[in-house]
Amino acid sequence: MQTTLSPQADPGSGTPLVVPARRATSGDGSIKTVWRLPDGNQVESLSFTLGDADSHATPDGRVATPVQESRGHVVCVSSQAGCNVACTFCATGLMPMRRNLTAEEIVDQVRQTRLLEERDVPSRVIFAGMGEPLLNLDEVLRAVSLLETEPGVAHISVSTMGVLPALDRLAEEAPSVDLFLSLHATTDEVRDRLVPLNKANPITDILRSAENFARTHGRVTDVSYLLFNGVNDSDADADRLVELLDPRYFRVQLLLWNEVPGLPFSRVEEDVILRFRERLLAGGLPTYIMPSKAQDIDGGCGQMLTEAAKEHRVARSHKAMLPLV
Ligand SMILES: C[S@@+](CC[C@H](N)C(=O)[O-])C[C@H]1O[C@@H](n2cnc3c(N)ncnc32)[C@H](O)[C@@H]1O
Ligand code: SF4
């Protein structure tokens, strides 16, 4: 269900920096909001609940919730309007990079979500909406310190493609943050084609930095792995992942791709993701499947702003760059 909203001022905290332009509620209860920024740019956030049904067994029989130890309400915020990393599978990557968000605009996505939604305050905020947080690190670090004192926010996570040396700076300056590293490939050859900044930040380098992050913080790093049909879903990929990741420092969250029309990828079937998970578990690597949220309302980052994406699809020529499948 999608609704168009008029901007509303919040009498409690002055004029909001982000105002809801559109909202859509999924059958699974997730809510996607398109926020209008003061200069007219737009970004998206997603709020959802993690429950027991979203938990998965680890190799030793323990149960791990997908977003570290947090259950409850999660708000996924944007840190940039657009993203110039231009990952070849991502709707946001198809858009032009407009600008970095300020720390206040990032935090206001959480505050305004709390005001709009009649549910508990978010227990976790995750920087996994539009944009690459490490390419807006100063503002993201300021936002993290503001969120640390925000009512009800118990956990803060940053999801990144891995940008060096910004990742090392995040480890040093944000000890409260949990890290999600978006890996999505087990060889540089494949990752170069999925994530253009891999050429400057190859797998070995970002994993070394992420391992250091986990050691420094005393918490495991979650490695996000999106499965693409015929691209990165083989048994050999699973075995390479086991070789690459030390289970003392990493665990894997497997994800299904939200289809973005026009992009040359396809989502794997459920039996493939289950087989892949079993192979990682057999190799001793803690692994869980992150349930897809908001499938019925274009839940993937940037997907509600796909009109903008379509305009720029031809100009960015992803297909020409990427004869992957
Ligand atoms: C949108 S990104 C934002 C944070 C950061 N830029 C990153 O890439 O980790 C958050 C996660 O969503 C994933 N993602 C992007 N497009 C997706 C899609 N269409 N379906 C599922 N996940 C997607 C990314 O790979 C990443 O793991
Ligand atoms: S996946 Fe992340 S880094 Fe890549 S284009 Fe999308 S938002 Fe940017």
- Say if CB 75 and CB 47 are below 8 A apart: yes
Residue with the nearest Cα to atom 25 of ligand 1? Answer: 182
Q: What is the pLDDT of residues 27-63, one digit of tens each?
A: 888 899 999 999 999 999 999 887 654 444 444 444 4
The owner of tokens 């390419």 is 135
- Is 44 catalytic? The answer is yes
Which of the listed residues 46, 76, 92 should we mutate to test ligand 2's pocket, taking the one with most ligand atoms within 8 A of CB? 92
pLDDT at 3 over 60: no
Strands 31-36 and 19-25: antiparallel
Of 35, 41, 13, 30, the closest CA to residue 75 belongs to 30
Report whether 192 contacts 198 (CB < 8 A). yes
Compute the distance between CA of residue 67 and CA of residue 167 in angstroms, rounded to an integer: 20
* Contact (Cβ atoms closer than 8 angstroms) between residue 28 and residue 54: no
- What is the atom index within ligand 2 of the atom nearest the CA of 83? 8
Residue 69 has pLDDT above 80, yes or no: no
113 pocket-lining for ligand 1 (C-beta < 6 Å): no
Query: How close is the Cα of 27 to the center of ligand 2, in Å?
Result: 26
255 close to ligand 2 (CB < 6 Angstrom): no
Indicate whether 156 pLDDT > 90. Answer: yes
User: Residue 177's beta-bridge partner residues?
Assistant: 156
Which domains does the chain possess?
2-321 (3.20.20.70)
Q: Residue 267 carries which DSSP code?
A: B
Ligand 1 centroid to Cα of residue 301, in Å, is 7
Q: What is the predicted ipTM?
A: 0.99
* pLDDT at residue 302 in the model: 62
Helices (H), the chain: 103-116, 137-147, 166-173, 188-194, 203-217, 235-244, 270-282, 306-316, 318-321
**Residue 211 is among the residues annotated as catalytic for this protein:** no
Which ligand 2 atom sits closest to the C-alpha of 92?
6
CA 270 to ligand 2 centroid distance, Å = 24
- Other beta carbons within 10 angstroms of residue 205's beta carbon come to 15
Cβ–Cβ < 8 Å for 57, 87: no
Residue 5 predicted with pLDDT over 90: no
Which neighbouring-strand residues pair with 267?
228
Over residues 237-285, the pLDDT tens digits come to 999 999 999 999 999 999 999 999 999 999 999 999 999 999 999 999 9
Torsion of CA 215, 250, 284, 60, to 10 degrees: 80
Q: Check residue 29 and give its pLDDT.
A: 84
Verify whether ligand 2 is closer than 6 Å to residue 92 (CB atom): yes
- 83 C-beta closer than 6 A to ligand 2: yes
- Helix pair 103-116, 137-147: axis angle to 10 deg: 40
Predicted pLDDT of residue 323: 24
Residue appearing with tokens 């086991």 = 242
**Residue nearest (by alpha carbon) to ligand 2 atom 5:** 93
Residue 132 phi, psi dihedral angles, 5° rounding: -105, 110
CA 40–ligand 2 middle distance (angstroms): 21
Pairwise CA distance, residues 113 & 312, whole Å:
29
Tell me which of 44, 105, 132, 139 is the catalytic residue: 44
271, with CB counted inside 10 A (0-12, 13-18, 19+), is exposed
What is the structure's pLDDT at 53? 46
The tens digit of pLDDT for each residue in 185-235 reads 999 999 999 999 999 999 999 999 999 999 999 999 999 999 999 999 999
CB distance 228 to ligand 1 below 6 Å: no
Residue 310 corresponds to which amino acid?
Answer: K
Task: Kindly report whether the global pTM for this prediction surpasses the value 0.90.
Answer: no
Nearest by Cα to 253 from 282, 229, 226, 215: 226
* CB distance 92 to 302 below 8 Å: yes
Shortest-distance Cα residue to atom 4 of ligand 2 = 87
Q: Ligand 2 within 6 A of 129 CB?
A: no
